Amino acid sequence: MIEKLENTYILSTNQNSYVFRITKHGDAESVYYGKKITSIDAHTLIKKQNTLFVNTLYMENDETYGIDGMRFEYSFANRGDSRSVSCILKVGEECMTDFVVKKITENTEYKNSDMPVPRGYDNSLTVKLEDALHPGLIIELWYFIYENTDVLARAVRIQNDSGKQVTIQKLMSAQYDLECAQKELVCFHGAWGRERIRHNVPLCCGKFSGGSHSGMSSAECNPFFIVKEKNTDENVGEAYGFHLVYSASHELAAETDCYRGLRISHGIQSEGFCYALPVNEKFDSPISISTFSACGLNGISYQFSRFINANILPKKQVPIMLNSWEAFYFDINEKKLYALADEAERLGFEGIVIDDGWFLGRNDDTGSLGDWQEDKRKFPLGIAAYAKYLSDKKMQLGIWIEPEMVSEKSNLFLQHPEWVLKTEGARSIVGREQRILDLTNSEVCAFIEASLDRLVEEYGAKYIKWDFNRRFSDIFGSEGSAYFYRYIKQLYLILKRFTFRHENVVIENCASGGGRFDLGMLSYCHVGWVSDNTDSLSRAEIQQGTSYGYPIRTMLNHISASPNQQSKRCSSLKTRSDTAMIGMLGAQLDITALKGEEKEELKRVIEQYKKYRTMLLGASLFRISSDNNFYVWEILSDKGENAIIYLMMDRFLSVSSIPNIKLINLDEDAKYEIRFEGMHFTASGKTLMNGGLVFPQIYQGVRIDNGTLNMTDRSTLLIYLIKKEDR
């Protein structure tokens, strides 16, 4: 809903309002972002606060218009704002611009964006600014309201009708000038194998700046973050959540000022950015997503979960796939895969993914990327015949591909050395002995599209695992890091066209694990490979970090072998499967080598998962923090009629017990049937939320009977709750 009160605009979702106004001098000024208010409440908020102190700048002939402390909607270079600005342009050879608001329009359609736009917004508002110094140079600030999911999206579009070439040196997708008080930034940094780990950064003075420079959204810093009050915890207190719908180098910044202001901005990484925008062309920023919650960090996760499920992810159920990677690595062949398929069918899997190693001459990671034809020595009967074998068993074929890459040891490189990002004369930088293809070359895009089509049309793949295993070093052209924008724009186009041609094919997004796990890729891919690290303890930490910003539906988890192949840590099949079930379930291990009882256990896991899968697709995960020794998550179905509680105990401690777990968001008047570990009882929502779920004693070396939980290091429990009809 959009309300207008004089020169003030109130953009409201079901629970929140975002307010800004146009000042008498034609700037857009932030007024408020928080719990919902109406135009009546807004009256008091929009009274101009005088922010003019000694030694500050102000507009000519208007000393009440102090610029230094002004909360700008979007800030431009060289206009007196002493904080970091959001937009730096050069017009011809000039650095000066002066953008003034000219027009505001409601509910115009946002057409032909080069960046992915979340579908289904209820309203839009466009603020059009024009450069007083270069008429025809237009900046549009776009606002999109998603009422039901309490999300506001923003984008910036530049239209260059100035008659002069414009160089974009910095263009953030959005700026949020908030009141600082005592806030903290919660960001999700990491590395390969430990992606998206929560970090808290106090915002007391100066500027915190994060992001990536590697050409990808990266495992090192996810483009999702939260800004919260210092005391906000999982369930109580105010917080703002932000996502950038972008998969290349990004930037986020949080800067405090001496006027109690906090400027949050995020967008394309500006270091080295130098984009040439010709006359009569436009430039689209990636979309900025934000939400506000007064119900702590779980509130942010809940709102983003619902938004991403409804407005970002393509709709298609992800099958339960058995992946060949940790089962066989490169030592893959048809014989092993047929045996795997027979056992997989018996255990209830819905498909097999042939991971890396299936194509011409690929026996290790030193060559062959780009030669996307089946290796007849490994597949004498052919992959299409294998797809048929699977489909006769009602199973699907998945194929791994790394379409943006090429190995120097490949036929493709021999034929097209000019297609790769490589600089003659410079010291050569490779990663995993591979090079990145130049997606700004249309021949390369055509080659990639044809290779992808062949997987579907010739080999019969119904599932593509799309990998990306090295970051960028060399780039082409004179525009510096703007190359990454041009690259990713082409990648989105390839994905868009592919998903249009093959709407029934599921795409798994992977980048050396979770190195490009972001809403840009998830706009086209049905699920994301969370991390290469499948060790249950590490995984619980990674899944928990990921859950702050992404729904369960995005997280692909695999049951793998024990000892784990990354950490060498051992864990029970129960721990591995309980942890993998909190997401989209799959596996990667040689199931033909399992013992009989392990096979039966795995079969039961898959059966149980299938019963809960529909619920998990729409469910929200709430972190129930209680004790550092436990991970506890409440996974509540969309309508609240059932829940799964996941509990992992990190270390066994003598003379200890599981703390009572106070659940949240249940129906307090309802009764819930509770089942776990052979136990079965009923409790009211009120009891479960106030007193908590009470556990029997953990086995402590004395005696074990039916009422004692047999738990040790990294043991897990899955507790199932079903709301009963009668109250």
* 3-state SS, one letter per residue, for 558-615: EEECCCCCCCCCCCCHHHHHHHHCCCEEEEECCHHHCCHHHHHHHHHHHHHHHHHHHH
Footprint of ligand DGJ on 435-474 (CB under 6 A): 467, 469
525 touches ligand DGJ (CB under 6 A): no
325 touches ligand DGJ (CB under 6 A): yes
Which residue(s) pair with 183 in the sheet?
203, 229
For the bound state, the minimum distance from the C-beta of residue 579 to ligand DGJ, rounded and expressed in Å, comes to 17
Helix (H) or strand (E) holding 687: helix 685-690
Closest CB to ligand DGJ among residues 529, 695: 529
Closest CB to ligand DGJ among residues 262, 555: 555
Closest CB to ligand DGJ among residues 583, 685: 583
355 touches ligand DGJ (CB under 6 A): yes
The contact mask relative to ligand DGJ for 533-572 (x = CB under 6 A, - = no) is ----------------------------------------
Instruction: Look at residues 704, 650, 655 and name the one whose alpha carbon lies nearest to residue 677.
Output: 704
220 touches ligand DGJ (CB under 6 A): no
For the bound state, the minimum distance from the C-beta of residue 606 to ligand DGJ, rounded and expressed in Å, comes to 21
410 touches ligand DGJ (CB under 6 A): no
513 touches ligand DGJ (CB under 6 A): yes
Sequence-distant (6+) residues with CB within 8 A of 332 are 324, 354, 355, 357, 358, 378
Closest CB to ligand DGJ among residues 84, 564: 564
Position of minimal CB gap to ligand DGJ: 356
Q: Site size for ligand DGJ, by CB under 6 A?
A: 11
Closest CB to ligand DGJ among residues 261, 513: 513
Kindly compute the dihedral angle of the four CA atoms of residues 549, 554, 559, 561, in this order, to the nearest 10 degrees.
-70
356 touches ligand DGJ (CB under 6 A): yes
For the bound state, the minimum distance from the C-beta of residue 556 to ligand DGJ, rounded and expressed in Å, comes to 10
Closest CB to ligand DGJ among residues 73, 402: 402
Helix (H) or strand (E) holding 454: helix 442-457
Classify 489 as helix, strand or coil.
helix
For the bound state, the minimum distance from the C-beta of residue 407 to ligand DGJ, rounded and expressed in Å, comes to 12
Residue 661 CA, distance from chain mean position? 29
- Please report where in the chains the tokens 């997708």 appear, as a residue: 173
Task: Specify the stretch interacting with ligand DGJ by CB under 6 A; choose among 156-164, 170-178, 509-517, 559-567.
Answer: 509-517
Closest CB to ligand DGJ among residues 325, 386: 325
Report the alpha-carbon distance of residue 716 to residue 621 in Å, rounded: 17
DSSP 153-184: EEEEEEEE-SSS-EEEEEEEEEEEEEE-SSEE
For the bound state, the minimum distance from the C-beta of residue 654 to ligand DGJ, rounded and expressed in Å, comes to 39
For the bound state, the minimum distance from the C-beta of residue 528 to ligand DGJ, rounded and expressed in Å, comes to 11
The contact mask relative to ligand DGJ for 93-112 (x = CB under 6 A, - = no) is --------------------
Sequence-distant (6+) residues with CB within 8 A of 194 are 219, 531, 533, 538, 541, 542
Report the alpha-carbon distance of residue 307 to residue 122 in Å, rounded: 13
Footprint of ligand DGJ on 611-630 (CB under 6 A): none
For the bound state, the minimum distance from the C-beta of residue 419 to ligand DGJ, rounded and expressed in Å, comes to 21
328 touches ligand DGJ (CB under 6 A): no
Burial class, 368, CB count within 10 angstroms (exposed 0-12 / middle 13-18 / buried 19+) = buried
For the bound state, the minimum distance from the C-beta of residue 510 to ligand DGJ, rounded and expressed in Å, comes to 5
375 touches ligand DGJ (CB under 6 A): no
Of 99, 146, 389, 400, the one binding ligand DGJ by CB under 6 A: 400
The answer to whether the CB of 517 falls within 8 A of the CB of 224 is: no
Classify 274 as helix, strand or coil.
coil
Give CA separation, 166 vs 163, 254, 279, 508, in Å: 9, 28, 8, 38
- Please report where in the chains the tokens 């010291």 appear, as a residue: 427
Instruction: Look at residues 296, 261, 244 and name the one whose alpha carbon lies nearest to residue 176.
Output: 261
Task: Specify the stretch interacting with ligand DGJ by CB under 6 A; choose among 126-134, 474-482, 510-518, 653-661.
Answer: 510-518
For the bound state, the minimum distance from the C-beta of residue 512 to ligand DGJ, rounded and expressed in Å, comes to 5
Report the alpha-carbon distance of residue 551 to residue 307 in Å, rounded: 9
For the bound state, the minimum distance from the C-beta of residue 531 to ligand DGJ, rounded and expressed in Å, comes to 8
The contact mask relative to ligand DGJ for 638-677 (x = CB under 6 A, - = no) is ----------------------------------------
Report the alpha-carbon distance of residue 70 to residue 467 in Å, rounded: 45
For the bound state, the minimum distance from the C-beta of residue 523 to ligand DGJ, rounded and expressed in Å, comes to 20
Find the angle CA(726)-CA(680)-CA(572) to the nearest 5 degrees: 135
For the bound state, the minimum distance from the C-beta of residue 402 to ligand DGJ, rounded and expressed in Å, comes to 7
Closest CB to ligand DGJ among residues 267, 513: 513
Closest CB to ligand DGJ among residues 72, 379: 379
Task: Specify the stretch interacting with ligand DGJ by CB under 6 A; choose among 8-16, 506-514, 679-687, 711-719.
Answer: 506-514
Instruction: Look at residues 549, 555, 548, 544 and name the one whose alpha carbon lies nearest to residue 513.
Output: 555
512 touches ligand DGJ (CB under 6 A): yes
For the bound state, the minimum distance from the C-beta of residue 514 to ligand DGJ, rounded and expressed in Å, comes to 8
Which residue(s) pair with 131 in the sheet?
99
Instruction: Look at residues 724, 717, 718, 647 and name the one whose alpha carbon lies nearest to residue 684.
Output: 724
Closest CB to ligand DGJ among residues 162, 469: 469
Which residue(s) pair with 676 in the sheet?
679
Closest CB to ligand DGJ among residues 389, 517: 517
DSSP 498-554: HHHHTTT-EEEE-BTTBTT-STTGGGT-SEEE--S---HHHHHHHHHHHHTTS-GGG
Task: Specify the stretch interacting with ligand DGJ by CB under 6 A; choose among 84-92, 229-237, 508-516, 710-718.
Answer: 508-516
510 touches ligand DGJ (CB under 6 A): yes
Closest CB to ligand DGJ among residues 555, 663: 555
For the bound state, the minimum distance from the C-beta of residue 213 to ligand DGJ, rounded and expressed in Å, comes to 21
Closest CB to ligand DGJ among residues 349, 695: 349
Task: Specify the stretch interacting with ligand DGJ by CB under 6 A; choose among 132-140, 248-256, 507-515, 688-696.
Answer: 507-515
Report the alpha-carbon distance of residue 256 to residue 203 in Å, rounded: 7
Closest CB to ligand DGJ among residues 269, 434: 434
Closest CB to ligand DGJ among residues 97, 469: 469
Report the alpha-carbon distance of residue 325 to residue 340 in Å, rounded: 12
Structure tokens at 372: 């996307």
Sequence-distant (6+) residues with CB within 8 A of 414 are none
Classify 683 as helix, strand or coil.
strand
Binding site for ligand DGJ (CB under 6 A): 325, 355-356, 400, 467, 469, 510, 512-513, 529, 532
